[in-house]
Chain A
């Protein structure tokens, strides 16, 4: 007969030095463990890992990321890094970004957003916007206390709430921000150097031209290049 117990193997009784286990020995060991926890939690700091949340906060990791924010260097109105290129708007999978390019009265682009809205109730924290941004402008934030009683307005973040300083970025994610700053600085320097070189070259060209013209003058105005 195939009784259900035929499939049950006896587990060997836990081995003790004497070969036999005293009934209740394991219970006493368990009591010792909880007892030690109880006593040591009063004087061992490393045992108590509780963080009293509203008063204290756990430090967030540099890898922590949720909703995006926009970076400005000194002044949120004047030098927002964003150029309203709308790449993030197009890449955003749930399409939570809405950008309107700022133009002057002649309709010429001012290369900055007039409206930059992110609907946090739609955003899914994927971070693609931060990845695609070519202007180091949009990054993922470390802010997590965003609960609000206003379901629509309270979660629709405009420029005023999205724009955060480069120092904030530096504090939030030092490694990344340093790297970005260094790259931007290098680029700026390169640009400046290029501009200077161009300027120098233009100047040299002009000088050369002037010289040539001066050299040519005594002679007849012959071969013109």
Chain B
């Protein structure tokens, strides 16, 4: 037993315990799976609590404030205080709400996030569910989030939630497309849909020190950046947080929720954020692979979580910086910029795969991606530049 196996320790312990008591084989198996699942849920629920504090602290620092610092040492107990507050609040169900859907929506938003977290390989030895079709499962489950958001908006029986839900649907459907296309390039090159295998294919180093991650290829760089932007939109994070849009539509689909149901929405959102960043790390940043040679003594899951923290911090940084985009800007960006570029990564990935990853594929794929990018740049400068509005009737 080394540190590498630490995250599997609870599962092994329970299995050994049950075997000692002479439990049947199926019971040992099920109990082991349950414990493995609760390890993942526990880690990410703790991560959610921590992130809610770290996010507030980071945002505060970006605005030269201090942030929460009253509850406990450096505000470390703030998540606990928030949780107690949320739990003790009144749970209000509007009279016009569809009661069952209204109750189901917050649950339905947490479940897919947890399911999606289950297939991600966190370490060489820590793969909660090593599915053969892990990527497909991830996207299939991830699509449920849209349903539950629309459920929340519809069931609330009021206008702001409905508006928020409609925004959410149009946004998430638009951005799911380039997200999946970007992931498709990785699948083409790796030749597998299994997430552990995709990570394995990214092992090793070019020239002895450049990790062989998908990000460090021409198509992988483009696909990775597109994936990053799409994952912000998929997670409904700022600057794509139109579904919530608190300054315009109160809280979008969460307007009519209160108490712990409201907290569940946040939990679902943050767990979804963990899941989508985890997937991005798995696909483009080499999953649990170490970033430099000679660092194999560090447990692999530590590398995964280090990468996760970095990606999450970049999300926070972006939230602290950018204002929310308008819905027409959002849609135009998705359909006129993201999807064409994402589609171009597919032939680039194909060339990369079949032309042998040598000089030839560099020579072909770099112009293939660069020229359209330049064209989009020209269009951006010529046609999509912000316009000066003159108001005829307001002087």
Contact = CB atoms under 8 A, between A and B. Distances in A.
Interface residues of B, number: 26
B387 A20 contact: no
Contact of A23 (B317, B376, B387): B376
A10 B388 contact: yes
B322 A35 contact: no
A144 interface: no
Most buried by A among B58, B64, B378, B390: B64
Contacts of A13: 381-382, 385
B66 A8 contact: no
Nearest to A5: B387
A225 interface: no
B64 A37 contact: yes
B322 A30 contact: yes
B321 interface: yes
A21 B374 CA distance: 11
A8 B388 contact: yes
Contacts of A27: 321-322
A34 B377 contact: no
Interface in A4-63: 7-13, 20-23, 27, 30-31, 33-35, 37-38, 41-42, 47-50, 52
Given A7-B392, A13-B381, A31-B318, A37 B62 contact: yes
A30 B62 contact: no
B310 interface: no
A33 B321 contact: yes
B387 A38 contact: no
A194 to B, nearest CB: 61
Interface in B249-296: none
Given A22-B377, A23-B380, A34 B389 contact: no
Contacts of B64: 37, 41, 47-49
**Is the interface on chain A under 10, 10 to 19, 20 to 34, or 35 or more residues?**
20 to 34
A23 B338 CA distance: 13
A176 to B, nearest CB: 35
Nearest to A13: B385
A31 B381 contact: no
Contact of B317 (A11, A31, A47): A31
B358 interface: no
A38 to B, nearest CB: 5
B63 interface: yes
A202 B290 CA distance: 107
B61 interface: yes
Contacts of B322: 27, 30
Nearest to B58: A38
Nearest to B391: A7
B66 A48 contact: yes
Most buried by A among B321, B378, B385, B388: B321
B386 interface: yes
Contacts of A21: 380-381
A210 to B, nearest CB: 83
B206 interface: no
A51 to B, nearest CB: 10
Contacts of B380: 21, 23
A34 B62 contact: yes
B63 A11 contact: no
Interface of A: 7-13, 20-23, 27, 30-31, 33-35, 37-38, 41-42, 47-50, 52
29 contacts: A7-B389, A7-B390, A9-B387, A9-B389, A9-B390, A10-B385, A10-B387, A11-B387, A11-B388, A13-B381, A21-B381, A23-B377, A23-B380, A27-B321, A27-B322, A30-B321, A31-B318, A34-B62, A34-B317, A34-B320, A35-B317, A37-B62, A37-B63, A38-B58, A38-B320, A48-B66, A49-B64, A50-B66, A52-B66
Given A35-B62, A50-B66, 19 more contacts: A7-B389, A7-B390, A7-B391, A7-B392, A11-B385, A11-B386, A11-B387, A12-B385, A13-B381, A13-B382, A20-B378, A21-B380, A21-B381, A27-B321, A27-B322, A33-B321, A37-B62, A38-B62, A38-B320
